[in-house]
Amino acid sequence: MKRAIYPGSFDPVTLGHLNIIKRAAAMFDELIVCVSVNSSKSAGLFTPEERVELLRRAVRDIPGLERGRVEVDSSPGLLVDYAKAHGAKAAVKGLRAVSDFEQEVQMAVINRKLNPRLETMFLASSDKYTYLSSTVVKEMARYGADLGEFVPREIVDAVNQRMRELEGTEGKEG
């Protein structure tokens, strides 16, 4: 059985992420979408547990995916350790731009040194999602933009609600 992991912060999951999930799921028997904690990023919009739940909502009704082929999980540790523990032989990474490539190749080389059995597979973003990132989604949500073309419909309300909660607490501390 060929099992791969698609790791990311997914804060929040975007339609670009879903595009990579669908394409990777077609290439492997099983795909684990793993919410990872990125120590270089500040506190997220959602907790890792909330991100897992939002991802599960987003992938639940993907047409053509048999039940169990896409699993959602989280890990606070290194990708290579998670891959060993779950028998995954490949890590799937989506690339939007050259800047993504430089960073992801560096991580792939490090991961390969730590776990020589883990291959990294890069999937170029679909044209219509090359501009899209979770950071851009959060910025649009902050200003009340319609998120319908950027995040799965199943989570639009959750993103908007969280942003309203955060905006409601700004300036009230101290």
Q: Which of 9, 36, 74, 134 is catalytic?
A: 134
Q: Which of 2, 41, 117, 142 is catalytic?
A: 41
Q: The tokens of 142 are what?
A: 């902050």
Rounded-to-integer distance, Cα 63 and Cα 16, Å: 16
The verdict on whether 41 is a catalytic residue reads: yes
Q: Which of 23, 57, 96, 112 is catalytic?
A: 96
The verdict on whether 67 is a catalytic residue reads: no
The verdict on whether 17 is a catalytic residue reads: yes
The verdict on whether 86 is a catalytic residue reads: no
Q: What is the DSSP letter of 117?
A: T
> Residue 37 is inside which H or E element, if any?
none
Q: What residue ranges in the chain does DSSP mark as E strands?
A: 3-8, 30-36, 70-75, 90-95, 119-124
Q: Which of 17, 51, 93, 162 is catalytic?
A: 17
60 residue type, one letter: R
Rounded-to-integer distance, Cα 4 and Cα 45, Å: 26
As beta bridge partners, residue 13 has none
As beta bridge partners, residue 95 has 124
Q: Which residues are catalytic?
A: 17, 41, 96, 134
